[in-house]
Structure 1
Amino acid sequence: MFTAPIEAETMTLTTHTIELDGVEQRYHVAGRGPICVAHSGGPGIGWEYMRMRPLEEHLTMVYVEPIGTGESGRLANDADYTLDNYVRYLHAVVEDLDDGPVALLGHSHGGFVALKYALAHLVDALVLYDTSPVTGAEFFGDAVANIQHSGSEVLAAFTSQHAEMTDEELTGVLRTILPAYFADWRAEFEPFRAATRIWSAPSRGQDVPFDVRDQLPTIPAPALVVAGDKDVICGPRWARMLHDGLPSSRLRVIENCGHIGHVERPEAFYAEVLKFLS
């Protein structure tokens, strides 16, 4: 159980491990104040890119290290990396915190997990960050059409992903694509690219098509829907779909911003999140 106090002045990051069905689930805690649990995207991208130090000055940030990535455990069957299982392991983390309902922040695929979680469990608030209530042929077709404007190398990498790729190969693809996820890629983002990793097993999950549009009105939690206006994957079209379907939501589209606003436009992103969660 999570009981250790956080050293707020130094924002010490502490690591915790729980077990569900014999599989270890790790999570990391830093900050002070109300609890906000953050789930990274992918599926399979390492949690580290989601570290949000400015939020730690106001919130106790809990960063889930998703199963199948990093030092968290591996499922016996790759096909079992489904949204329902991500929700089960996320709920194990929330229960381990033993502090009642929490705010939940999900980015991209992590937003899918957050939506599915909110349909099954009580949360205080949702931050749905560059995500969508639906995937499928139209969603991915839209992404490919947007990616085409980023050049042939990026498009080739984006469409080259396949189930047999190793962790290293898939990480190489992600790093090739990453500049397209920014409205204005700059040299200062290169360390971020070099540190970003993805694990291949979660990409082989056998999920049914994701579509919760009809269920959005049943989610009672207040939600912030935030998206970059230049996001090629989960841009304003999908953000507005979320906003229109949720009964209590606030929509914020960040100008001159791609898919990773907390890195590209941190001043705008953090201001919106803190205003909402305060």
Structure 2
Amino acid sequence: MTETRESVFKTSQGSVLHYFTRGTGPPVVVLPPAWGIGSVYLQDGLRALEDKFTLIYLEFRGNGRSTKPAPEQMTCWHLAADVEHLRQELELDTIPRLVGHSGGGTIALWYAIRFPGRVGKLILLTHRLEGFDDSQSMGAMLAAKQRDPRMRDALQALTSSWDDLSDEEFAAVNRRFLPAYYHDPSVASKSPLASVSSIPLWNYQMLHGKYAQLKSQEELLDKVTANTLMIFADDDPICNPEHGLATKKGIADSELVVLEKCGHFPWMERTDETLSHITRFFST
């Protein structure tokens, strides 16, 4: 088993950021979402890549041992600066390979927009295109899942207000909803997220909830110069393929793959295909 190396560093602005390093080979920076679930689930899911690449998992501000910022600096646009601080800490002229999952993909995309030329190859795994209106496609997918008796209890977790929950109660809601992320809900029990006992509600409210300050990425996609691969899943109710189609329209050098019978965590339901696409893209 590959050793996990933990590191903490201070940025030029005085904040503290935390990251994990696993594997050997050319560097790959991996970005999880920043709403509090951390990177452990990605460390588990992508471990098969560790014999080919050195995977560097950043814990964003407000996550893990990283500094909690002022509320107005807890946006995906601001969080892209954490990636730039990491690049400087690693003494890399550019980030040759960058991958982000879900909300981490949103931040990876902001980094590629804000710092063009600093990314060689970019993989967006079932990412959200910030500011994109997916209400119709998301509603249709959730309605289809509602017809599956296996999903009904999970989907009921969306019906109540989360505003007054403790971090432990918020984690319980997320554990309950977790099966709905998958094409096959039974796979949810194999995820490290199935045992998470506390998730900071503050992070979620700042990034996706009532205090979120969203910016539109769609009109800025032409700033991306990185060679980009997007991997989506046809049964992902949270980041459906419409986000990928819209992103592809704006990035000239981009490729879109949509995996069938698969949900939000494609390395769990389409393991070989997902890892093969990642390896191929980062090895050429």
Q: Normalising to structure 2: TM-score of the pair? A: 0.86
Shift of 1:162: 3.1
CA spacing shift, 1:195–1:63, aligned 2, 3 Å: farther
In 2: Cα distance, 1:152 partner to 1:129 partner: 26
Give deviations 1:187-213, integer Å, cap 9, x for gaps.
673453433463222123244333211
Shift of 1:214: 1.6
Shift of 1:144: 4.4
**Higher alpha-carbon deviation: 120-129 or 40-49:** 40-49
Give deviations 1:160-218, integer Å, cap 9, x for gaps.
35343322121111111110111112267345343346322212324433321121122
Structure 1: runs of 5 or more not aligned: 1-9
1:216 match: 221
CA spacing shift, 1:185–1:265, aligned 2, 3 Å: same
Aligned-pair identity in percent equals: 27
In 1: Cα distance, 2:172 partner to 2:30 partner: 25
Q: Which ranges of 4 or more aligned residues in structure 1 deviate by more than 4 Å?
A: none
What amino acid sits opposite 2:37 in the alignment? I
Give the aligned length.
267
Mapped contact 2:98–2:119 kept (Cα < 8 A): yes
Matched residue of 2:185: which SS?
Answer: coil
Give deviations 1:107-130, integer Å, cap 9, x for gaps.
111111011100122101110110
Matched residue of 1:124: which SS?
Answer: strand
CA spacing shift, 1:40–1:180, aligned 2, 3 Å: same
2:58 match: 64
The correspondence of residues 1-278 of structure 1 with structure 2, limited to 5 A, is: 10-20=1-11, 21-41=13-33, 43-51=35-43, 52-75=46-69, 77-102=70-95, 103-121=97-115, 122-135=118-131, 138-140=133-135, 142-148=137-143, 149-150=145-146, 151-186=151-186, 189-190=189-190, 192-196=192-196, 198-205=199-206, 206-278=211-283
Give deviations 1:119-147, integer Å, cap 9, x for gaps.
122101110110132336x3245434423
Mapped contact 1:170–1:198 kept (Cα < 8 A): yes
1:3 match: none
Q: Normalising to structure 1: TM-score of the pair? A: 0.88
